[in-house]
Amino acid sequence: MANQVVLGIDIGGTNTAFGLVDRLGNIIVETSIPTNNQQNEVQFFERLFPAIEEMLLKHEDSDLIGIGIGAPNANYYSGTVEKAPNLNWSGVVPISKIVEEHFHVPVKITNDANAAALGEMLFGTAKGMKDFIVITLGTGLGSGIVCNGQLLYGHDGFAGEVGHIIVIPNGRDCGCGRKGCLEAYASATGIKRTVSELLCNSQQPSLLRELTYNEITSKMIFEAAIQHDAIAEEAFQITGEILGRALANAIAFTSPEAIILFGGLALSGETIRIPTQKAMDEYTLNIFHGKTKLLISKMQKANTAVLGASALIWQEHVSQ
C-alpha cells in the first residue's frame, strides 16, 4: 500500500501555502504561491491547480486520500467561502466542489482558527484532549472550540466567533461594524491600539514614541516590553486583563480542559500568558477554578496552517 497523504491548503490574504502531510503530521513537502487579491477565484485556481499537480507528480509514490482547506469565512457544511474579506472573489465560491471536481478526492474546508484547533488536537498541544479552545491572536482574534472531541460548527457552520463577543459596551470600533468586540483589544492589532491609547494618556517615556502607528507591530511591542519599556509593559497588562476576563466567560460556556493561545501575539509567550492567566483566575467561577490550563501553542511554525488544514481529512482516519 502506498504511503497515504493529505494535501493541506491554507488560503491567506497574501499567500496560499500547501503541502503534503502524512498520518503522523509530518509535512513531506510544502510550498506557496501568492494569493494575489486582485484576481478572482477562477484566475486563482488556474494558478493553484498546476502548482499542486506539479507537487503531486513529484510524489507519485504517495496515495492522496483527501484535501483539507483553511480559508477565511469558509463554511464546513456548505463547502463554500462566503464574502471572503481581503479577497476579490465572488460572493459565494463553492470551493469544495471546484477542488473535488478537479482532483477527484474528498475535500473539506473550514476557517483558519478551526483548522488550527484540529491541528492542535491531532498533532499539537491539545493531543489527547477532548474539550479545549484555540484562540488565534493575529490581525484579528479567531477561535476554534472543541467539545467532546468535535469541532463546534453551530447550526450554520460559523460557530466560534469569540473575537466578536462585546467586552466593552460602546468601546473601540471593530472591523465588523460594531463597537467593543474582544478582537479590538486582544489581538496583534488590538495591543497596537492599546499602545496608541497609552501614548496619548500617559506621559511616560517610551521607545514606541519614535514610531508611527502604521510602523508599530506586536513584535516591536513585545521587544520593548522585554526591555522594560513602561508603555509596552502596561499594554501587555491591559491586553491580558481584557483577554483573561473574556476567557473566564468562555470557561463558563464550555468548561474546557485547556485554552491554547496561537498566532502572532502568542509568540510573546509568557509576556502575554501571565497577565491573561491572572485575570482569568480572578474572574473564573468557583467550580471551574484552577481546572482550565492556559497554554501557548507549541505549533508556532509557519506551516501550522497547512498541518491544520490537513487535519480536516486526517481527523476521520486517525484514532484519538
Compare residues 17 and 146 and give the one whose CB is closer to a copy of itself: 146
Which set of grid coordinates corresponds to residue 43?
A: 484566475
Compare residues 43 and 150 and give the one whose CB is closer to a copy of itself: 150
Q: Minimum Å distance from CB 251 to a copy of itself?
A: 8
Q: Which of 85, 154, 205, 269 binds a copy of itself (CB under 8 A)?
A: 154
- Residue 166 makes contact with a copy of itself by CB under 8 A: yes
Phi-psi region of 141 (alpha: psi -120 to 50; beta: other; left: phi over 0): beta
- For residue 12, give the nearest of 58, 66, 74 by alpha carbon: 74
Compare residues 219 and 291 and give the one whose CB is closer to a copy of itself: 291
Q: Minimum Å distance from CB 16 to a copy of itself?
A: 23
- For residue 191, give the nearest of 22, 155, 35, 199 by alpha carbon: 199
Which set of grid coordinates corresponds to residue 164?
A: 466578536
What residues contact 76, with CB distance under 8 A and at least 6 apart? Answer: 108, 109, 110, 114, 151, 153, 157
Compare residues 8 and 256 and give the one whose CB is closer to a copy of itself: 256
Amino acid at 45: F
Q: Which of 10, 41, 120, 161 binds a copy of itself (CB under 8 A)?
A: 161
Q: In whole angstroms, how far apart are CA 301 and each of 120, 208, 267, 307, 308?
A: 12, 27, 10, 10, 12
Q: How many residues in total does the chain contain?
A: 320
Which set of grid coordinates corresponds to residue 32?
A: 506557496
User: How many chain residues bind a copy of itself (CB under 8 A)?
Assistant: 42
Q: Minimum Å distance from CB 288 to a copy of itself?
A: 7
String of contacts with a copy of itself for each residue 61-80, x by CB under 8 A:
------------x-------
- Residue 33 makes contact with a copy of itself by CB under 8 A: no
Which set of grid coordinates corresponds to residue 307?
A: 498541518
What residues line the site for a copy of itself (CB under 8 A)?
73, 129-131, 145, 147-148, 150, 152-162, 164-166, 169, 176-178, 245, 248-250, 252-257, 283, 285-288, 291
